[in-house]
Amino acid sequence: MKKLTLASTALCALIAAPALAEEWRPTQPMTMVIGFAPGGSTDIQGRVLARTLEEYFGQPVNVVNQPGGGGAVALTRFLNAEPDGHTFMFGVQLGLTFSPIVTEVAYEIDDFRYAGTLVGGQFGVVAAGDAPYQTFEELIAYGKENPMTYAQQLPMDEAIMRIIAEQEGIDLAIVPTGGGGGMAPLLLGGEVDYAFSGGTHAQYTPTGEMNVLAFLTAERSPFYPDVPTLEELGYPYAIDDFRSFFLPGDTPDEIVEAFENAARFAVEHEPFVETTVENTLHPIVFMDAEETEATIRSIREANEALMAQ
Amino acid sequence: MDFSAVGAAASEALTLASFIGIGGGVLLGYIVGVIPGLSRSVAISIAIPMTFYMSPFIAISFLIGLSKGTAAGSAVSAILLNAPGEASSAATALDGYPLAKQGKPKTALQIGLIASVMGDILATIILIFVAIPFARVALMFGPYEMAAILAFALVFIAGLSGGNIFKGLAAGGLGIFLGTIGLDNQTGLPRLTFGYTELMDGMPLIAVAIGTLALSEMFVQSEKLRYDRENMSVALKKDADDRITMPIFKRILPTILRGTGVGTFVGALPGLGPSVGSFMSYGMAQKAAKEPEKFGKGEPKGIAASESADNAVIPAALIPLFGLGIPGNVSAALLIGAFAIHGITVGPLLLRDNPELLYSIFAGMILASLIMLVLGWYGLMFFAQITRVPPHVVIPIVIFFCLAGMMLQGYGTFGLIILMAFALLGYLMKKYDYSFVTFLVAFIITPMLELNLRQSIILSRGNWEILLNRPIAMFFIACTVIALVALIIRTFKKEQAVANAPAD
């Protein structure tokens, strides 16, 4: 994975600049589909991204929310979108890397094109700040002596915790939470011992109310450089998710290229970066079109392997 | 409390720009509230981009004003059209519409407005002075307590339907059944979706609510219109007696205070919401009344109970939001997003890092309530004109708004088909006297009840004794059992009365 440094982007911008004149440009207002309800982090990032894209493409960008099934509803509807570049999606990859494994959906990875990644995820395991364990190792040691409870959000994180609990001999009960909003009261109210967090922890770590014990992602979070990943701790499991541009399957290369450049522009554009990092507390991660598609396929394989266990 | 911050906050709240922002929010909310099918959360989500260019204080006050306006405005259509603008005003329609039919539409509207504004201001004051320091109390309500409260609410509301207990159980059972549709929240596997991706997040709430409440009512109205042209419209005459009087106000004041208490309690608990609040308050008012049989036939207390609780939920839902960063309901969750756009993280740090902003928002909220009172009072005649429009004009317009409101949800044609199906269901339930209210509340509560019950069972590892350490949960379980027993006794008494009565 390539994290864009300042220097390399500046270089990219220089190279990209002369090509701008010949690049594909929209001829009418554009529609950005977001597969989540208004107000969530995907929506907030998307709405600020829409302003950035208006600046880049010179056309108004309307945001349409099509919530449901973790993005699956929007992807299903997106199958019928015109491949002319005027309708595109911005969102998480879970609808492609996870939903098809457990649900019968009308689409597959091959049905879409992937025009670049802009935002990274930060799936982690958290505990209350006053818990008797401050690291994942301490949690495991504690669990060997005491029965424990864990609040899940995705079947994948449940699978990982179940495997680790069996391996370490921990008596673990796993409860559903119905999302990050439901996790916080459970953990802070002392109902569960530790929990999955898709990003909710960012609000609570500065006050010391929550502690991130480990990240489930393949790489450490830039916001918590001292917190290890599960893989570093010796458990060979990871769940990742990135936020990317999706385009209809028949979209021509030149349009995909234009969106790839738009993504390059956005990850350096002050308002988008600021909102993403400071307000929604997600890291900026850039990947080009090819790398985005390859990542989606490899995450899908990893998830399939995990769910098969 | 830091008084210099309060002073600075008050002066910011009283600028012309904030008057325009908050007033605009309340007015917009009022209009959205009046239109059946345009829901509060839809309005907030559409309005969030409009706030990009406002200062954080005005933006948040605008959105809260919008929420408050919808809660007050939804009473207008509930009373005049029997089509609640929000699901949470369905309880208002139970007495508001009969009262309007009895030639007192203005009285009904004024009772609704005064109850709304009072519930609103009192709950805001509770939010400011009592609740924020005690936000942590909400954490005492874990899954056991929540499951017990929800079970209690379900039984309690089923008791409201009166009539035949078996019909009530059938309606509630159907609501529970439909509430289980969608992705299982632990395994992510679809349940009863029959391959429709649209059903993954469950039956769309708005389709169920608009269908069974508003659209089916339009079917009933058109049918009446066909056979009985005169009886249909509520004519608003110039009637000096048709206004709220001091005796009426004194009579409903205790109801308003109780409704505010119920609404604040329900709002402060994450996950419940205004519909649960208004129905619980209505039920408690009926239970406390000397003449409970008057409820449902134009009892002013019924309107006051429902509206005061409905409006008290809005500020109370901000208690866990400001205190803990946990939203009390959907519209409060949308506010987190709005805060984030303006660079503010909602949560316990807000009071420490941004006290001026928080106090300004409180001042703005009080201002919004006052604007709502003025707007509602003087706009009453304007809104009441809806009743002068002949039914053959009103019915198609309401149907249009129902369909348009559904289209806004983004479900496409699929949503319209679901909406029509529920309108038909609601029509049949009304015709055959099944409680659509019990049905709707059961449907809304089921996902929350299921999640909390599952969490309780898993966390307790199936051990009942854990409840002994949970006095709050025990209390509500006891209430549920008592309510259930009372309900059964009442049904048998009624059946006996019917059996003993001479057949006519």
Q: Is A105 on the interface with B (CB under 8 A)?
A: yes
Terminal Cα-to-Cα distance of chain A (whole angstroms): 27
Q: Is B340 on the interface with A (CB under 8 A)?
A: yes
- Rounded CA separation B305/A202 (Å): 40
> Which residue of chain B comes nearest to A193, CA vs CA?
B459
Average pLDDT score over chain A = 87
Q: In sequence order, what are the beta bridge partners of B157?
A: none
Q: Which of residues 253-282 of A touch B (CB under 8 A)?
A: 275, 278-280
Q: pLDDT-derived band of residue A265, with 50, 70 and 90 as boundaries?
A: very high
B234, B259, B256: which is closest to B389 by C-alpha? B234
Q: What is the pLDDT of residue B67?
A: 87
User: Of the ranges A54-63, A187-196, B7-16, which one carries the lowest mean pLDDT score?
Assistant: B7-16
Query: What HEC string does chain A produce?
Result: CCCCCHHHHHHHHHHHHHHHHHCCCCCCCEEEEECCCCCCHHHHHHHHHHHHHHHHHCCCEEEEECCCHHHHHHHHHHCCCCCCCCEEEEEECHHHHCHHHHCCCCCCHHHEEEEEEEEECCCEEEEECCCCCCCHHHHHHHHHHCCEEEEECCHHHHHHHHHHHHHHCCCEEEEECCCHHHHHHHHHCCCCCEEEECCHHHHCCCCCCEEEEEECCCCCCCCCCCCCECCCCCCCCCCCCEEEEEEECCCCHHHHHHHHHHHHHHCCCHHHHHHHHHHCCCCEEEECHHHHHHHHHHHHHHHHHHHHC
Which range has the top average pLDDT, A17-31, A56-70, A107-121, B455-469? A107-121
> Which residue of chain B comes nearest to A191, CA vs CA?
B142
Which range has the top average pLDDT, B81-90, B303-312, B345-354, B429-438? B303-312
Q: What is the pLDDT of residue B37?
A: 55
Q: pLDDT-derived band of residue A8, with 50, 70 and 90 as boundaries?
A: very low
When the candidates are 3.40.190.10, 3.10.20.440, 1.10.260.40, 1.10.3720.10, the CATH number that belongs to A124-215 is: 3.40.190.10
Q: Is A129 on the interface with B (CB under 8 A)?
A: no
Q: What is the pLDDT of residue A90?
A: 95
Please state the domain extents for chain A: 6-121+240-308, 124-215
> Which residue of chain B comes nearest to A206, CA vs CA?
B349
**H or E segment to which residue B198 belongs:** none
Smallest Cα distance from A47 to chain B, Å: 8
Which range has the top average pLDDT, A77-81, A149-153, B237-241, B485-489? A149-153
Q: Is A68 on the interface with B (CB under 8 A)?
A: yes
User: Of the ranges A32-36, A210-214, B52-56, B190-194, which one carries the lowest mean pLDDT score?
Assistant: B52-56
Q: For the residues B440-460, what does the mean pLDDT come to?
A: 87
Q: What is the pLDDT of residue B318?
A: 85
B440, B435, B453: which is closest to B150 by C-alpha? B453
Instruction: Count interface pairs A-B at CB distance under 8 A.
Output: 147
| Residue contact A38–B197, C-beta within 8 A | no
Contacts of B185 in chain A (CB under 8 A): 176-178
> Which residue of chain A comes nearest to B320, CA vs CA?
A185
Predicted TM-score (pTM) above 0.90: no
A259, A283, A242: which is closest to A52 by C-alpha? A259
B326, B142, B465: which is closest to A192 by C-alpha? B142
Largest CA distance in chain B: 74
Q: For the residues A212-223, what does the mean pLDDT come to?
A: 93
- Rounded CA separation B72/B67 (Å): 9
For B113-156, the pLDDT digits (tens) are 999 999 999 999 988 887 666 666 667 778 898 888 888 877 87
Q: pLDDT-derived band of residue A179, with 50, 70 and 90 as boundaries?
A: low
Do domains A6-121+240-308 and A124-215 share one topology? The answer is yes
Q: In sequence order, what are the beta bridge partners of A248?
A: A112
Q: What is the pLDDT of residue A2?
A: 44
Average pLDDT score over chain B = 80
Q: What is the pLDDT of residue A18?
A: 45
β-pairing, A30-34 with A61-65?
A: parallel
| Residue contact B270–A39, C-beta within 8 A | no
Predicted confidence (pLDDT) at residue A131 exceeds the cutoff of 90: yes
- Rounded CA separation B36/B53 (Å): 29
Terminal Cα-to-Cα distance of chain B (whole angstroms): 69
Q: At what angle do helices B165-179 and B143-160 cross, to 10 degrees?
A: 140
**CATH architecture of the domain formed by A6-121+240-308:** 3-Layer(aba) Sandwich (3.40)
Predicted confidence (pLDDT) at residue B409 exceeds the cutoff of 70: no
Dihedral (CA of B3, B5, B7, B10) sign: negative
Predicted confidence (pLDDT) at residue B503 exceeds the cutoff of 50: no
Smallest Cα distance from B383 to chain A, Å: 30
Q: Is B408 on the interface with A (CB under 8 A)?
A: no
Q: pLDDT-derived band of residue B18, with 50, 70 and 90 as boundaries?
A: confident
Q: Is B420 on the interface with A (CB under 8 A)?
A: no
| ipTM of this complex prediction, to 2 decimal places | 0.78
Predicted confidence (pLDDT) at residue A164 exceeds the cutoff of 70: yes
Q: Is A31 on the interface with B (CB under 8 A)?
A: no
